[in-house]
Structure 1
C-alpha cells in the first residue's frame, strides 16, 4: 500500500463521524437496491408457487398428439417432463341431487400428471392402470348413491352436444345448457361403455370450475397401450424457461407435423417467469423496468454522490496539503477512488445483508395477513437468486464509481493554494453573492443573509437542492408507477365484484326465495338486479376519442352524424339503489319520476380491444346531466322502434355490484325498478333477473342454495376468479406501497444527511455571525428562510422533471393499455408539504446542535 492510500485510511479513521455518515449512506443505497431486487424476485416466486399449487406446473401444451409425436416431444432437449392427459368425456351421474351437475367428468393422466397437477388424495391410492379411477369427494355430498373405494363403475361415456352449440362438443367451462323453463338443451352422444374400479377418493380439484356440469373422476392413461389412432394432450415441463420457448415450440410442432393452432402456453405461469408472446406487453415490461431501474440508480447515485461530494469538500485542505508536498493529480484522484473502494468493501456486504434482513422481517409480519385475508395456500418467502445479488453488487459498485468519479476529478484539478484556502468552495466576490434588494425589504436582513450564505457556499447549496430534487422525482415517479401498475391490473381483470350469481327463470323474482338465500349464515352482502337490452343513437361529437378513431376508418358506422350504441339497462332493488346513490353522491329520489324515466349513466368504459389486445379505459360518452337519450328496441322484424326517452340524472365511473364493464359503442345505465316496470308496461320487452351475493364461504353458500331445491334457479359461483383478482391486486399493493415507503425513507435519510452535514461544516460561519451580534431569533429566521429557499428551488426543478418521468411511464404503459394521462395531484400536494417539513426539520435539528457550540471554539476550529 502506497503512502497516499495509508494517509487516506488514517484520515478516514480520524474523521469517524464523516466516514460513518458516508458508510451509512452507501449501506442504505445498497440495501435499497437489494431490497427492490429481492422483493421482485420473491413476489414472482410466490405467484409461481401459488399458480402451480392451484393449476399445476406445465409450460407448453401440444394438443391431440399421437404416439410418434409423443416420442419426439419426449426426446426434445428442452423437455424435462411430459404430462399426458385426455378428456374421455361425460357420463350420467345416477342419483345426482344437484340439477346443475348431472354428470361424471372423466379425465386421464399418466404418472407425471398426478405429480404435476394439484391432486389431493383423501383416502385410498392413485390409479396405476387404465381400469382404475379416483373420484371427487364432492360426489358423495351431492348424490343419493354411496360410492366408496373398491366399488365398480360401469359408465356410458360420451360428448355433450347442445342445441345451440352448432354440433360442437361442450367442455367443463360450459355450464349446463337449459332453457327458461329449466329443460336441459343438451344430450350425450357418441357414447362408449367403460368399466372402472374406484381405488381412491380425492378432494375436489381446484382447477374444476364451480359452474361446470360434471364432477371430476380421474383415471390413468398408459401410453404403452395407446392404439395407433389414439391421441392425447402433452403438457411439457421445460428444462429452461426463457424467451426462446415460443419459437422452439413452433419449430418442434412443425417437425412433428402439428399445426400452430394445436400449441398452447401456460400464460399465467409464464408471466411470472417474465415471459409473454405478446409484443406490446413485452415492450411495456421492458420499458417500465428500464425507467424504474433508472430512477433507483439515479437515487442511489445522488445519495452516495452527496456523501462523497461533501467528504471531498471537507477534505479539500487535506488534499491541498498532499499536493503541496508533491502529490500528483493522479495520486489525489486515486485517493478519492481508494476511499470509495474501502467504503464499498465495508458497505456493500452490510447493505446486502441489511436489505435481505429487512425484507425477511417485512415478509414475516405480512405473511399472516396475506394468508388469512386472501386464503393463499403458499407463503411469501425471501427468494434469493445469484443473479439478483450479482445485479445488486454490480449496480452498487457502478453507483459508487460514478459517485466518486466527479469529486475525484474535481479534487485532482484543484491547486494546493486554492485547496488550502478553500477558495473554490467559497465565493466571496460581490457578484457571486449579490442578492435582490427586494429580498431585504420583504423578508428582512436575515433572509438576505440566508440567501447570501447559499450563494457563497454554492456547491453545498447545489448538492442539497440536487438531493431534494432527486427525492421529489423518486417519490413522485415511484408513486405514479405504483398507481399505474394497480390501474393496469384492474383494467386487465374483468371487474367481478361478487362471489355468486343466482339467475331466475324468466323475468320474475320470488322474494320469498330471495329472503331465504340472503338470510343464509355466510352471506355478507346482496343485490337484486334486473337487466334489459336497448339501444340509442349518439351524436358523433359525444362519442369517445377511441370510437372516433374507428369512425374515421369506417364512415359507414355513421348515420345522419350519429352512431348506434348498445344500452345495458340495469335496475337495482330499492335498498341497493339507495346505497349506490349514496356512494356516488346523489339523492336516490332523483331517479323516481312518474312522468319520465331518469337514469345514472356510467360514463367510463374499460375493455380489451379485440384487434390490438390493448386494455382500454375511455369515456363512454361526452354529455352532461339533464341531457336526454332516446331508448330504442328491435322488433321481430329486426326494425328499430322508439320506446321512451330517458333523462340523465347523474354521471359516474362507479359500478354497482353485479354490473360489469362494457366496451366500445356501449353504455351502462342504472335505473330504479319503477322505471324498468314502466318500460316493460309500455312495450313488449323482456328483462332478466339476477341475485348477486358476497359471502365468507362461497362453496358452502352454493351448497346451501342447492339444498333449498328450488326450481328455476341457476347458480354461477365465481369466487375462484374473484379471489385471484383480489389476490393479484393485494399483493401488488403490498409490493408497491412497500416500495413507496422504502423510497420515502431513503429520500428523508438523503435530505437529512446532506443538510445536517452541510450545517455542521458551517460552524465557523455561524459563530462569526453570532460574534457580530446576530440574536438567536435572527439566527432562527435566517435558518427558516434558507429552508424556504431550498424548498422553492427544489420544487422548481423537481416537479417538472417528475412530470416528465411520469409521462414517460404513462407512454410506456400505452403499449399495452390505453387510458388518459392524469397528474397525481394528491401526491404532488403531499410532496410540496413534505419538502418544506423535511427541510425545515433537518435545518432545525442541525442548527439546534450548532447552537450549543462555543463561539470561540467554533471560530478556532479548522476541521470537523
Structure 2
C-alpha cells in the first residue's frame, strides 16, 4: 500500500464520526437496492408457485392434436416435458343430492400429467391404465354417493348440449336452466367401465359452479389411434419471450388448429404477448430504478463531497510535498473502495434480513386471513447478489467521480488558504434589507452563511430535493400499481349470488335468513336503451365514435342501459353512499334515478384497462329510456327518469358498463311501477350476499334453493384478488419504508456533517457575543430556508416524474392523472420536521463546545 492510501486510511480513522455516517449511508443505499431486487424476485417466485399449485406447471397447450402431431411436439427442441390431456365427457351421477351438480366429469392425463398437475391423493393410488380412475372426495361428502376403492363403475359418457347449438358445454359452463327447469341434455357417446383406485381432494381448477364432480383417468400415448384427438400440454425447457412466436410456428408447420398459453404463469416469468403490458412493466422498472440510483448517488456523493471539502487542507499539504493530480484523485477513489468493501457486504445482508423479517410477519397474517397454500419465501439468487453489487459499486464510483476530480485540482496554496469553497464578493453575500427588518440580524447572518458556503448549501438542497422526488415518485408509483391491479381484476364485492331468469324475488328474499349472511342485496335488472344528445358525450365516447365511424341518430347516440332496481334497504344504503336525498326517490309516479357516471372496464380493441366518465350530465337532467322487444323488434317508451344524483360508487353485485353504456339505479318499487307485462318477461332477479363462511353458506343454499335458481360462489376468485392486492401492498409499503429511510438518512447525513464542519464558525459567532436565543433564531431561519427552497424545486420535478409514470402506465391502464394531494401535504410537513430535527440534533452536538476548542477544530 502506497503512502497516499495509508494517509487516506489514517484520515478515515481520525474522522470516525464522519466515516461512520458515510458507511451507514452506503449500507442503507446497498440494502435498499438488495431489498428491492430480492423483493421483486421473491414476489415473482410466490406468484409462480401459487399459479403452479392452482393450475399446474405448464406453458403451452396444443388443442385437439393427433398422434403424429404429438410426436412432432415431443421432438421439438423447446419441449421439456409433454403432458397429454383429454376431456372424455360427462356421465350422470345416480343418486346425487345436489341438483346443480348432477354429473361426473371424466378427464384423462398421461403419467407425466398426473404428476405435473396439482392432484392431491387422499387414499389409494393414481390410475396406471385406461380402465382405472380416481374420484373426488366431494362425491361422497356433498353428493352423498359412496364409492370405495376397488369398486367398478359403469358410466354412459357423453357431451352436454343445448338445443340448436353445435358446441358442447364445458366445466366452466354452469348447469343451464330456465323457468321450467334444466334446458340442456346429455348426448351419450360411449359406455365405459372403470375401477376406482383412489380418492383425491377436490381439484383447485374445478369451479364452484361446475355441474360435474371431477373423475381422473389415464391416457396411454402408445394406445392412441390415428383418429384419436387429445390435448398436448408442454412444459418448456427454457421460458423466454420467443415462446408465442415459436409455438405458433410449430402449430402452423404441423397443421395444429388452436394453441393456448398459460398466460398467468408466463407473466410471472416476465413473458407476455401483450406489448402494452410489457412496455408498462419495463418503463416503470426503468423509472423506479433511475429514482433509486439517483437517491443512492445523492446520499453517497454528498458524503464524499463534504469529505473532500473537509480534507482540502490535507490534500493541499500532499500537493506541497509532491503528490500528483492522479495520486490525489486516486486517494478519493481509494476511500470509496474502502467504504464499499465494508458497506456492500453489510448492505446485502441487511437487505436480505430485512425482507426476511417482513416476510415472516406477513406470512403469519396471510395464513390467518386468506389461508392460501403458498407462503412468501426469501429468494436470493446469484444474479440478484451480482446485480446489487454491480449497481452499488457503480453508484459508489459515480458518487466519488466528481469529488475525485475536484480533489485532483486542489493546489497547495488554495488548500492551505481554504479559498476553494468560499470565494466571496460583495454581490455573492448580498441580502435583501427586508430580511433583517422581518427576521432580524440573526436571520441575515444565517442567509449570508448559506450564500457564502454555496457548495454545502447546494449539496443540502440537492439532498432534500432528491428526497422529495424519491418519496412522491414511489408513493405515486405504488398507488398506481394497486389501482391498476384493482382495475385488472373483476372487482366483485360479494361472496355468493343466486340468480333467477324471472323477475320474481320472493324465493330470493326467503334465502336471506340463512346463517352466516352479513349483508345482502336483492335486485331486478332490465336492459333498455337511451338516445343521448351529443353535448352529453364524454371525450372517450367521441373518440370511439370517430374511430369506428359509428352513425348517429339525428346527432344522438344510442346508449345501452343497465337498469337495476334495488330492494328498499339496499337502495337506502346506496343512496347514502352516493350522497343523495332519499325523499326524491319515494314517489314511483315521478321516477328518479342515481346514475353511475364513473366506469372501469377493459377495452376489447386496445386491451387497455380504462377508467372514464360514462356521460356528461347533471342532477336534474332527464333520461328517456326505451324498451325493445328483440323478438318482435318493436320499441316503446319505458319511462322518463330524473337524475337525482351522480356517483362513482357501485352497489353490491353490479359491474359498471363499458363505454357507450350507462348504469341506472332505482328503487325496486319504482321499477315495478313502470313496467307492463311484456317488459316483466325480460326482467331478471338476483340476490347478492356476503357471508362469514361462504362455503358453508353455499352448502346451505344447495339444500333449499329450487332448481330454477342458479348459485354462483365467487369467494375463491375474490380470495385470489385480495391475495394479489395484499402482496402488492407488501411490496409497495416496504418499498416506501426503504425510500423514506434513505431519504431521512440522506438529509441527516448532509445537514449534520455540514453543521459539524461549521464548528469554527459557530465558535467565532459566540466569541463576538451571539446569544443562545440569537443562535437558535439563525438556525431556525436556515431550516425554513432549506425547506422552502427544496420544495420550490422538489415539487415541480416530482410532478414531472409522476406524469412520466402515469404515461408509462397509460399504455395498459387508462385513467386520469391526479396529483396525490395527501402525499404532497405529508411531504411538505415532513420536510420541515426532518430538517428542523436534523438541525437541532446537529446543533445539540456543537452547542456545548468550548469556544477555544471550536476555533482550533480541525477534524470532526
- Please say whether Structure 1 and Structure 2 have the same fold, judged by a TM-score greater than 0.5: yes
Report 1:165-314 matches (<5 A): 166-181=165-180, 183-259=181-257, 262-314=258-310
In the alignment, is residue 444 of structure 1 matched against residue 440 of structure 2? yes
SS of the residue 2:203 aligns to? coil
User: What is the rounded CA distance, in whole Å, between the counterparts of 2:281 and 2:341 in structure 1?
Assistant: 33
The residue that corresponds to 1:604 in the other structure is: 598
In the alignment, is residue 472 of structure 1 matched against residue 468 of structure 2? yes
User: What is the rounded CA distance, in whole Å, between the counterparts of 1:537 and 1:497 in structure 2?
Assistant: 31
Structure 1 residue 123 displacement after superposition: 1.1
The residue that corresponds to 2:357 in the other structure is: 361
SS of the residue 2:228 aligns to? coil
SS of the residue 1:557 aligns to? coil
SS of the residue 1:552 aligns to? helix
Structure 1 residue 863 displacement after superposition: 2.7
SS of the residue 1:684 aligns to? helix
Structure 1 residue 683 displacement after superposition: 7.1
In the alignment, is residue 110 of structure 1 matched against residue 110 of structure 2? yes
Structure 1 residue 20 displacement after superposition: 0.9
Structure 1 residue 542 displacement after superposition: 1.5
Structure 1 residue 595 displacement after superposition: 3.8
**Alignment check: 8 A CA contact 1:137 1:203 kept:** yes
The residue that corresponds to 1:748 in the other structure is: 744
Structure 1 residue 734 displacement after superposition: 1.5
User: What is the rounded CA distance, in whole Å, between the counterparts of 2:92 and 2:32 in structure 1?
Assistant: 60
The residue that corresponds to 2:424 in the other structure is: 428
User: What is the rounded CA distance, in whole Å, between the counterparts of 2:639 and 2:145 in structure 1?
Assistant: 55
Structure 1 residue 427 displacement after superposition: 3.2
Structure 1 residue 671 displacement after superposition: 1.2
**Structure 1 residues 97 and 447, CA gap change in structure 2 (3 angstroms):** same
**Alignment check: 8 A CA contact 1:33 1:392 kept:** yes
User: What is the rounded CA distance, in whole Å, between the counterparts of 1:490 and 1:809 in structure 2?
Assistant: 17
**Alignment check: 8 A CA contact 1:535 1:565 kept:** yes
**Alignment check: 8 A CA contact 1:495 1:661 kept:** no
SS of the residue 1:629 aligns to? strand
Alignment size in residue pairs: 858
SS of the residue 1:773 aligns to? coil
SS of the residue 1:593 aligns to? coil
User: What is the rounded CA distance, in whole Å, between the counterparts of 1:842 and 1:591 in structure 2?
Assistant: 58
**Structure 1 residues 66 and 556, CA gap change in structure 2 (3 angstroms):** closer
**Alignment check: 8 A CA contact 2:627 2:679 kept:** no
**Alignment check: 8 A CA contact 1:499 1:698 kept:** yes
User: What is the rounded CA distance, in whole Å, between the counterparts of 1:561 and 1:256 in structure 2?
Assistant: 52
The residue that corresponds to 1:396 in the other structure is: 392
Query: Which of 556, 571, 579 pairs up with 2:565?
Result: 571
**Alignment check: 8 A CA contact 1:60 1:235 kept:** yes
User: What is the rounded CA distance, in whole Å, between the counterparts of 2:678 and 2:644 in structure 1?
Assistant: 23
How far does the alpha carbon of each residue in 1:182-202 deviate from its partner, in whole angstroms, 9 at most, with x for none?
x22111225211110111111
The residue that corresponds to 1:772 in the other structure is: 768
The residue that corresponds to 2:701 in the other structure is: 705
Unaligned runs of 5+ in 1: none
**Alignment check: 8 A CA contact 2:65 2:232 kept:** yes
Structure 1 residue 681 displacement after superposition: 5.1
User: What is the rounded CA distance, in whole Å, between the counterparts of 1:583 and 1:842 in structure 2?
Assistant: 45
The residue that corresponds to 1:583 in the other structure is: 577
* Deviation larger for 705-714 or 425-434: 705-714
User: What is the rounded CA distance, in whole Å, between the counterparts of 2:68 and 2:685 in structure 1?
Assistant: 52
The residue that corresponds to 1:34 in the other structure is: 34
- C-alpha RMSD of the superposition: 1.5
Structure 1 residue 817 displacement after superposition: 1.5
In the alignment, is residue 625 of structure 1 matched against residue 619 of structure 2? yes
User: What is the rounded CA distance, in whole Å, between the counterparts of 2:87 and 2:426 in structure 1?
Assistant: 89
User: What is the rounded CA distance, in whole Å, between the counterparts of 1:762 and 1:839 in structure 2?
Assistant: 17
User: What is the rounded CA distance, in whole Å, between the counterparts of 1:589 and 1:486 in structure 2?
Assistant: 37
**Alignment check: 8 A CA contact 1:91 1:104 kept:** yes
In the alignment, is residue 781 of structure 1 matched against residue 780 of structure 2? no
User: What is the rounded CA distance, in whole Å, between the counterparts of 1:547 and 1:510 in structure 2?
Assistant: 39
Report 1:339-358 matches (<5 A): 339-358=335-354
The residue that corresponds to 1:720 in the other structure is: 716
Unaligned runs of 5+ in 2: none
The residue that corresponds to 1:88 in the other structure is: 88
How far does the alpha carbon of each residue in 1:508-527 deviate from its partner, in whole angstroms, 9 at most, with x for none?
1126x634x33333323222
User: What is the rounded CA distance, in whole Å, between the counterparts of 1:588 and 1:319 in structure 2?
Assistant: 80
The residue that corresponds to 1:841 in the other structure is: 837
User: What is the rounded CA distance, in whole Å, between the counterparts of 1:100 and 1:672 in structure 2?
Assistant: 31
Structure 1 residue 554 displacement after superposition: 4.4
